[in-house]
Amino acid sequence: METANFILTFKYPAIFIGSFFEGPVVMIAAGFLLKLGHIEPVPAFILLLSGDLSADLSWYGAGYFGTHRLVQKYGRFFDITDRTIERVKVMFREHEEKILIISKITMGFGFAVAVLMTAGMVRVPLKRYVIYNFTGGLIWTALMMAAGYFFGNIYLLVGDGLRIGFLIATAIMILAAFYGFSRFVRGRLSGHNL
């Protein structure tokens, strides 16, 4: 509940800053607080989307300006060769729209940061990158806020004595779902070598 308290204390600046660092959690908390009537939907949505897009631009910049040098220097420790990088670039170029939008909507199946940095590394034009990320971000932010709003509905139905337990159980379920889904996808993708 610390996230919700942070948002309640600082309201809209907290929504922007929080979504920059921990987008999905803050989006769910904002939906929850929206249901409880503590924030307004339009400014919250715009700030969530802006904070999350700003974070994505940071990862793009890291990939654009630094990843290639890091891969050249340390890639051999992870079995990443120039040939592997070229294959990734070709694959990314062929499917960049799908990769970026689907990655945004699905949190990158646990590889979101890698996808965003790769977009910078392969020099996806910034305008296209922003358009794809913004499009996926609209859907992702709406889904996460809707999930928080839904849990807000349930929270209001739960008796006062059980609300703390409900919040703890909900937080554990959300974290377990994200963790389990990421592990599942990583396991599936690890069998597909480039």
Whole-model pTM: value is: 0.70
Residue 1 has pLDDT above 60, yes or no: no
Residue 74 has pLDDT above 60, yes or no: yes
pLDDT digits (tens, 9 = 90+) for 95-130: 888 888 887 777 655 567 778 888 888 888 999 999
Q: How big is the chain, counted in residues?
A: 194
Tell me how far the alpha carbon of residue 3 is from its chain's centroid.
16
Percent of the chain with pLDDT over 70: 73
| Domain residue spans of the chain | 2-189
Nearest to 35 by CA among 152, 141, 151: 152
pLDDT digits (tens, 9 = 90+) for 9-19: 788 898 999 89
Residue 145 has pLDDT above 50, yes or no: yes
